[in-house]
Amino acid sequence: MRKIKKLLVANRGEIALRVMRTAKEMGIKTVAIYSEADRNALHVRFADEAVCVGGPKSNESYLRGDVIIAVCKQLQVDAIHPGYGFLSENAGFAKAVEEAGLIFIGPSPEAIELMGSKLAAKAAVAKYNIPMVPGTEYAITDVEEAKSIASNIGFPILIKASAGGGGKGMRVVESVEVFEEQMQLAVSEATSAFGDGSVFIEKYIGSPRHIEIQVLGDTHGNIVHLFERECSIQRRHQKVIEEAPSAVLTPELRDEMGRCAVNVAKACNYVGAGTVEFLVDENLNFYFLEMNTRLQVEHPVTEQITGLDLVREQIMVAQGNPLAFAQEDLTINGHALELRVYAEDPANNFLPDIGRLETYKRPQGLGVRVDDGFEQGMDIPIYYDPMIAKLVTFGKDRQEAIEKMLRAIDEYQITGIETTLPFGKFVLQHEAFVSGNFDTKFIERYFTPDVLKPEATEAEESIAVALAALLMQKQKPTIADSATTQSISTSNWRKNRT
C-alpha cells in the first residue's frame, strides 16, 4: 500500500473541484493546473497549490502530459487524477505517469488501450458470451467488401469509428446505393478526430435505450457493479439527462446486465471506476457497446442511490486498499436525476452560447446537488466543453426526484447566456419521459424549438389586444403604415415586456 499525500488533478472546472473536495476530506493536499484562460477559475482558488501549464487552447495546456508530469516532480506530487476528458483515457499518458514513479488514479495503461478500441474490446469480451450487436469483428477498409458485409447483415447498418466516440466517425446507412459515400465520410471524420480512420460495421438498432453499468475494481481481484444509469436523452449522440436507476429494468435484467459488466471488467483486469455501456432494444434485449475507462460525467446519480463517494473509492483503490464491500452489500436507495446545464441554445440546434454569467444563482434545498465550476460574473471560455454545471436531484422514488428537479430548474437563475435548463424542464414534463417510454430518439421525435417559446395566457392576450387597439386610435395610421400596425402580435408583446 502507498499513501497519497499530495494529489494533482489534471483537469479543470467542476470535475477538478469535485475531486479536490474529496481529497481535502481525506487529508490529501491538492494541486491545480490551469490554462491562461482559467487563471481566475474556482478550481485554481480552491487548491492548495496551482500552476499555469500553458495557453488557453487544450493542446497548449491541459493536454500537455509532459508539462503536467514535470509539475508533479517539481511539487513532489504523489498521484494524478485525470478527471474525465482531456488525458483521462490516454494510455500513453497513464504509462508516462507510472514510469515517472507517480500513481495514476485510474486503470492500467493496458486496460485503457484495450478498451479504447471498440474492436479490440469486443474481441476481449467475446469469451464471456456477452451479447453484442451483429457486425464485423475487424476493421474494414475495402469498400466493396464492406458493402457486401453490410448487405448480408441487412440495412440499415451503422458505420462506426473504432478509435473514438461522441458520435464522431459514425454514419447510419439506409441503403446500398449510398453506402460508399457514407463510408468515405466516416473514415475521413474518424481520421480527423482520432488520427485513426479504422471503421467497422454493425446492425443499426433504430430505437435503442442507452443504459450503462458502473463498475469498480481493486488490485486484489475484486470487481463489483454499482447498478445502472439511464442515459437515453441525448443530442448529437451526447448525453443531456441521466438517471439512476432506469425506469424499465427489472431486477432480473439488472442482475444479468450487472454480471455482464463485471465480466467486461474482468476481461481487461480492470482497476478503479469504469463504465460499461449497453444498447437496449424495445424488447429489452441488451448488447455490449463499449467501456469507458474513467469516471463518468454522470457519476453523481450513482453516488446518490448507493451512498458511495466514487472519487474516494478511486483514491482508496489507487493506494492499494481492497474494496470495503462485496456485491451483496450494495443496494439501490431512492432515485436520482442529473441535468447537464450547458451554455447552449436548445432553440438553435443546441449550438454553444458562450458569454458572461450576468446572473448566476444556484438552487438549494433538500435533495438538490449542484456540481459546477463557475460563479456570477465569470465568462464561459470558448476553448472548452460548454457545460456550466451538473444539476442533480434525489428523492425516495422517481416521481419525487422529478418534482425536485422541476423545482430546482425554476430556482436556478442564469442570465447572460442561453442554457439547457428550459430543455430539461420540457423533457421532465413530457408524457414520454414521465411514463418511462422513451429512447435515444426522444429529441428527434418530440422536441422542436417552438416548444420552448412562451405562450401568452388568456388575460395577457386580452391586454395585448386592448393595447393594440389603443395604439391604433392614438396613431390614426395612414395607408402607408397600416401594415406595420397590423404586424403587432401578442407573442412579440410578451417577449418584450419588462
Number of H helices, E strands in the chain: 18, 20
Residue 456, pLDDT above cutoff 80: no
Q: How confident is the model at residue 477 (pLDDT cuts 50, 70, 90)?
A: very low
Q: Which amino acid is at 178?
A: V
- Residue 478: pLDDT over 50: no
Non-local (6+) Cβ contacts of 84 within 8 A are: 11, 15, 294, 295, 296, 297
Confidence band of 470 (pLDDT split at 50, 70, 90): low
Instruction: Answer whether residue 468 shows pLDDT above 80.
Output: no
Half-sphere exposure of 125 (CA within 13 A, CB side): 26
Looking at 12, 18, 229, 294, which residue is catalytic?
294
Given a cut of 80, whether residue 488 has pLDDT beyond it is no
Inter-residue contact 351 to 332 (CB < 8 Å): no
pLDDT, tens digit (0-9, with 9 covering 90-100), for 230-247: 999 999 889 999 999 999
H or E segment to which residue 154 belongs: none
Describe the strand order of the beta sheet including 199-203 as a list of residue ranges: 171-173, 157-161, 199-203
149-183 residue pLDDT tens: 999 999 999 998 888 666 778 899 999 999 999 99
pLDDT in tens, 207-228: 899 999 999 999 999 999 999 9
Task: Tell me the H-state helices in 430-476.
Answer: 431-435, 442-446, 458-475
Q: How far apart are CA 18 and CA 392, in angstroms?
A: 14
pLDDT higher than 60, residue 459: no
Residue 245 is predicted with a pLDDT of 98
Considering the entire predicted model, what is its pTM? Answer: 0.86
Rounded-to-integer distance, Cα 285 and Cα 281, Å = 5
Q: What are phi and psi of 142, to 5 degrees?
A: -80, 120
For a pLDDT cut of 90, what percent of the chain falls above it? 78
Residue with cell 475487424: 138
- Looking at residues 128-137, what average pLDDT do you find? 90
Tens-place pLDDT, residues 58-112 = 999 999 999 999 999 999 999 999 999 999 999 999 999 999 999 999 999 999 9
- From CA 125, how far away is CA 98, in angstroms rounded? 26
From the centroid of its chain, how far is CA 282? 23
Q: Pairing state of beta strands 79-81 and 103-104?
A: parallel
In this predicted model, what pLDDT tens digit does every residue of 362-407 receive, in sequence order? 999 999 999 999 999 999 999 999 999 999 999 999 999 999 999 9
45 as an active site residue: the answer is no
Residue 497 pLDDT exceeds 80: no
475 has a pLDDT exceeding 90: no
The percent of the chain in helix, strand and coil, each rounded to the nearest 5, is 40, 25, 35
- Backbone φ and ψ of 207, nearest 5°: -135, 65
Find the mean pLDDT for residues 437-444.
96
pLDDT at 258 over 50: yes
CA distances from 337 to 2, 144, 242, 404 (A): 36, 46, 6, 9
Number of neighbours of residue 118 by Cβ within 10 angstroms: 23
Q: What is the pLDDT of residue 136?
A: 86
Amino acid symbol at 198: S
Sheet containing strand 49-54, strands side by side: 49-54, 29-35, 6-9, 79-81, 103-104
Residue recorded with cell 451538473? 390
The H or E element that residue 9 is part of is strand 6-9
Q: Is the pLDDT confidence value at 462 over 90?
A: no
- pLDDT over threshold 60, residue 279: yes
In angstroms and rounded to an integer, the radius of gyration of the C-alpha atoms of the chain is 25
Tell me what the mean pLDDT of segment 406-415 comes to.
98
Residue 168: the pLDDT is 76
CB 377 within 8 A of CB 357: yes
Across the chain, what does the average pLDDT equal?
91
> In this model, does residue 492 exceed pLDDT 60?
no
Predicted pLDDT of residue 453: 79
Task: Tell me how many degrees the CA angle 2-222-162 measures, rounded to the nearest 5.
Answer: 95
User: Which neighbouring-strand residues pair with 140?
Assistant: 199
Predicted confidence at residue 112, as pLDDT, reads 98
Q: What is the pLDDT of residues 310-324, one digit of tens each?
A: 999 999 999 999 999
Q: What DSSP string runs through 62-125?
A: TT-HHHHHHHHHHTT--EEE--SSTTTT-HHHHHHHHHTTPEESSS-HHHHHHHHSHHHHHHHH
- Which CA distances in Å does 133 have to 153, 176, 198, 201, 450? 11, 20, 18, 10, 36
The C-alpha cell of 439 is what? 429512447
Nearest one of 134, 432, 404, 184 to 171, comparing CA atoms = 184
- Residue 464 pLDDT > 70, yes or no? no
Task: Say what the pLDDT of residue 461 is.
Answer: 56
Percent with pLDDT over 70 in the chain = 91
Peptide bond between residue 156 and the one before it cis (omega within 30 degrees of 0): yes
pLDDT at position 482 is 40
Backbone angles phi, psi at 74, to 5 degrees: -65, -40
HSE (side-chain half, CA atoms, 13 Å) at 201: 25
Q: What is the mean pLDDT of residues 308-337?
A: 98
Backbone angles phi, psi at 295, to 5 degrees: -70, 140
Instruction: Give the C-alpha separation, 207 to 211, whole Å.
Output: 13
Is pLDDT larger for residue 71 or for residue 144? Answer: 71
pLDDT of residue 480: 42
